[in-house]
Structure 1
Amino acid sequence: MRIRASLAAATVSGAVALTALLAPAAQAADSPNIPQAFTSKPSVGRNAPADETQGDIQITKVTDNANRDVVVGITKKTFNIYVTATDPSGIATADAVLWHGNDLASGDIDGLLYTDNAATCDKWSATSATCKITITATADTDLYSSALNGKWNVAVYAEANNGDHVEKDIYKNRWVKRAASFSGFNAAPEPVAKGQTISVTGTLKLASWSYLKYYGYSNQSVELQFKPSNGSTYSTVKTIKSSSTGYLKTTVTASVPGTWRFHYAGNGIASVADAYDYVDVR
């Protein structure tokens, strides 16, 4: 249940199906800056169309990355997909990929996240099992361009002991985002006298998968929040916008000791980010 192919263009050509995930690996020398895709060599002996079901097998649940955004910085991110399926004969295996593009069945895709390893399946009964697929997404290779950030599709496959199988090219969607972070965050001076001015500064940055660096993220709304030392929740004090370089600066009046936080809520391409600094007020 392994797949491997290299591709010298951003769009995959040729008819492919998720059933190909069960084919042996085809060893190839992958260029680090091109997308990867899978070949169509189905183990069941035919090219299966998209969203095919043979027999009474059913996929009952899919949980990918704990149903959270897949956030990748400038290195790699490993996450799990759990596929639960049922069939009267029992479940033999399952697999899953995340893909980006127009159509998986025709090969019109420009991004693919998959595993080279077989799923590990826990059988809950004679008829049902949950299979874990572990995928690693690597910046600059799997995610060869920052343009791949955004909404991806989760394709899943399951096969029963008697050969029944089910394939869904778009079982659900998953957002794959670039990591956002703050650098140089500081609330000063500290300690500070009550009534004096506190200056809060920092820079919001966003990972580039293309260049493997973090760059200043401009024109983004960031909340300055505060939690008193005897409190348990943060309250928003004000909202400011990052400059053309991602820089942020604002001032507040010191009243009680507590923790100041820059909170960035993220968007369709960037993750949530937070930075903290405790200030003692005397």
Structure 2
Amino acid sequence: MHLRATVAAVSGALALSALALPAAHAADGGPSYRAEALRAVAQHSSGKAAFSATSAPIGDLDVSFSDFKITKAIKVGTTSKVSTTVTYTLTHGADVDVDSETFATGPLIYRGSAEEPDSVQGGNYPATCVETSATTATCKGPIDIDPRETDADLRLRNSQAGTWHGAAIALDFDSEKTAVQFDLGTTLVQRNSTLTVNASPEPVTKGKTLTVTGKLSRANWEDHKYHGYTGQAVKLQFRKKGSSTYTTLKTVTTDSTGGLKTTTKATADGYYRFSFAGTTTTPAVSAAGDFVDVR
């Protein structure tokens, strides 16, 4: 999906209402800030010619961004909004007042290329900045992702799981100047995962066979349910009673429904679990250990 189509969907009445508000109210945040920020990104995503150097700020506001720090991964499920905090340094010209009520800045993440992002996510409210010199400030702002986004054009799609890129934006609602800087960093936006385990029979005679079953599932952002993650390597691990360390017994592959089933010999009292190392699209997860009494 082209970013301009995405922003057109989110802007609509929200953007028009933001323009009708006094500038100070628009800078306060909420839907007005979000719509204006996304619309400004679309304005600067007008073609590859504008992106000969995507690491430089684009726009007519005299600011630049650096030292962009974001979490390595954002796990998004099917129901709850997920938020993470980004910090960065804002460098600005003498004519830019970051303490002004008409000034707003915030972090963004986008999927795809800077020339034509497939999707963009940002914060519902702008960052807060603290001046560290006459021309620099340290800023901290949110990225808010809602898997239940009501606008279909802004809702996450399963194909968008994986690597997203960092960006930052600044807006002056008084002068109507903006600046966007892309390629500031990366993060993974992942479909949240769950993993279960059950070892039986319980109790079991020492030396007898245990059957261990479970299921690896991950969030589907399109139908808001969890479905089995197929064809994935998952480790069966054992922790002896009184120990704090799990040892891998074997590797099992999930079936066509995400199911896991294997056997092992019962040797001592302890806990069995499945452990999944994760992929770029799906986070690592380990099941809670299932205790087996060996007699």
- Using structure 1 for the length normalisation, give the TM-score: 0.73
**Structure 2 SS opposite 1:187:** strand
**Distance in 2 between the 1:200 and 1:41 partners?**
51
* CA offsets 1:135-189 (integer angstroms, 9 cap, x no match): 22112534431111111111124699xx9x9753011121111112124x21122
Counterpart of 2:126 (choices 102, 105, 118) is 118
Q: Does the aligned pair in 2 maintain the 1:91–1:129 contact within 8 Å?
A: no
**Structure 2 SS opposite 1:214:** strand
Name the structure 1 match of 2:168. Answer: 156
**Distance in 2 between the 1:212 and 1:224 partners?**
29
Name the structure 2 match of 1:270. Answer: 282
1:172 correspondence with 2:185: yes
The structure-2 alpha-carbon separation of the partners of 1:41 and 1:243, relative to structure 1 and needing over 3 Å to count, comes to closer
| Amino acid in the other structure paired with 1:61 | D
For residue 57 of structure 1, report the CA deviation from its aligned partner. 6.6
Q: Does the aligned pair in 2 maintain the 1:98–1:152 contact within 8 Å?
A: yes
1:279 correspondence with 2:284: no
Structure (1 or 2) with the greater strand fraction: 1
Name the structure 1 match of 2:76. Answer: 72
**Structure 1 SS opposite 2:280:** coil
Q: Does the aligned pair in 2 maintain the 1:180–1:272 contact within 8 Å?
A: yes
Give the length in aligned residue pairs: 245
Structure (1 or 2) with the greater helix fraction: 2
Counterpart of 1:63 (choices 50, 65, 69) is 69
Alignment of 1:239-278 (within 5 A): 239-276=251-288, 277-278=290-291
**Structure 1 SS opposite 2:159:** helix
The structure-2 alpha-carbon separation of the partners of 1:167 and 1:234, relative to structure 1 and needing over 3 Å to count, comes to same
Q: Does the aligned pair in 2 maintain the 1:140–1:210 contact within 8 Å?
A: no
- % identical aligned pairs: 33
**Distance in 2 between the 1:128 and 1:157 partners?**
15
Q: Does the aligned pair in 1 maintain the 2:210–2:263 contact within 8 Å?
A: yes
| Amino acid in the other structure paired with 2:261 | K
1:137 correspondence with 2:145: yes
**Distance in 2 between the 1:132 and 1:209 partners?**
28
**Structure 1 SS opposite 2:85:** strand
Q: Does the aligned pair in 2 maintain the 1:137–1:143 contact within 8 Å?
A: no
Q: Does the aligned pair in 1 maintain the 2:76–2:189 contact within 8 Å?
A: yes
**Structure 1 SS opposite 2:216:** strand
Give the stretch that moved more between structures: 201-210 or 55-64. Answer: 55-64
How big is the alpha-carbon RMSD for the aligned residues of Structure 1 and Structure 2?
3.4
- Using structure 2 for the length normalisation, give the TM-score: 0.70
The structure-2 alpha-carbon separation of the partners of 1:228 and 1:125, relative to structure 1 and needing over 3 Å to count, comes to farther
